[in-house]
Amino acid sequence: MSGESGPARGLLCRGGVAAIYHYAPLHYLPFIARRAALLSKEKLRRAGFSENHFRSTSKRQDISRGFDRYVHLTLDAHPPILQAKLAKGFPHFEIGIPAQAVEQRDYLLCRFNIAKTRYFRGARQAPEESAQNGKYYGDFCLPVARTEMERGDLFAANYGRRMIEVLVEDEIPLSASTLLRFFHPDDVIVARDIATRLRVPYTIELDAGLGYVPRTAYRTAVMEALATAMQDDRWLGNGLEFDRV
C-alpha cells in the first residue's frame, strides 16, 4: 500500500476505543499463540494452511471482494456472529488488542460486514462513495476509509451506530498486552494450560457477561484438535470448522 498517507495515529484512542477485537474458535489458539500474531487468509495460505482451515461462509467473499490479504478486526465487543456461535455451543474466544498497538500500523476502516453484506460493487446495488462510507480503491468491492481524513470521517459518522471493521494488511503481532477472554470456565482452564506450555504472556480471563453451554460433540472435537496441535507443532489442522457442522 505504498504511496498513501501514514496512519491516523491516535484516532481510535481519542474516540474512546480501548481495544480492538478478533474472535476465533478455541482450537485455533495454539496456532495463534505460536505465531504471536494474527495472519490474513493470504498469509495463512503461504504458511501452509489448506482451504478447509477457513470459514466456509466467509472465505469466498473475502477473496472475491478483495480483502483476503487483510486481518479482519472489529470495534464491537460481542458481535452478533460470536453470540450466534456460542448459542449453538461452539467454543470461541476473544482476542483483545490495545487500540494503540493497532494504530502503530497502517489500517483501513470499513463500515460494512464484508462477508455478509448483499450490497457491493458488482451487485445489483452498490454502496455510494461518501464521507460515511469511504471510497473504492483498487479491487475492493466495498468502499473503505484509507487516508487519515477518510478514517476520521467514517469513524465519526458510524462509531456507536453501525459496525466498523478494522483491516490490517498481512498480519498484526500480538504483544504481551493482548487480552484473551473466554466464555466458559473450562475454556479458561484449557487456555491457561496452553499458554503455560507455550510460554506466551497473554492475560487470560473469563468473560462472565457472555456465557454459553458447549455442546458435547463440538467440545470433544475441539479437545482432540487441541491435543494434536500441542503434540505436533508442524500440524496445521484437520479442517474442523463449525460452519460445516
In whole angstroms, give the CA distance from residue 222 to residue 182: 14
- Identity of residue 160: G
pTM of the model: 0.88
How many Cβ atoms are within 10 Å of 84's Cβ, its own excluded? Answer: 10
* Residue ranges per structural domain of the chain: 11-234
The answer to whether 26 and 90 are in contact (CB under 8 A) is no
Pick the more confident residue, 208 or 4: 208
Average pLDDT over residues 64-75: 87
Q: Kindly write down the DSSP assignment for every residue of 28-74, as one continuous string.
A: GHHHHHHHTEEE-HHHHHHTT--GGGS-TTTHHHHHHTT-TTEEEEE
Band (32; pLDDT cuts 50, 70, 90): very high
Average pLDDT over residues 186-204: 97
Q: What percent of the chain shows pLDDT beyond 90?
A: 73
> In this structure, what C-alpha cell is assigned to residue 244?
460445516
Nearest CA-CA partner of 209 in 187, 189, 182, 186:
182
pLDDT digits (tens, 9 = 90+) for 135-147: 999 989 999 999 9
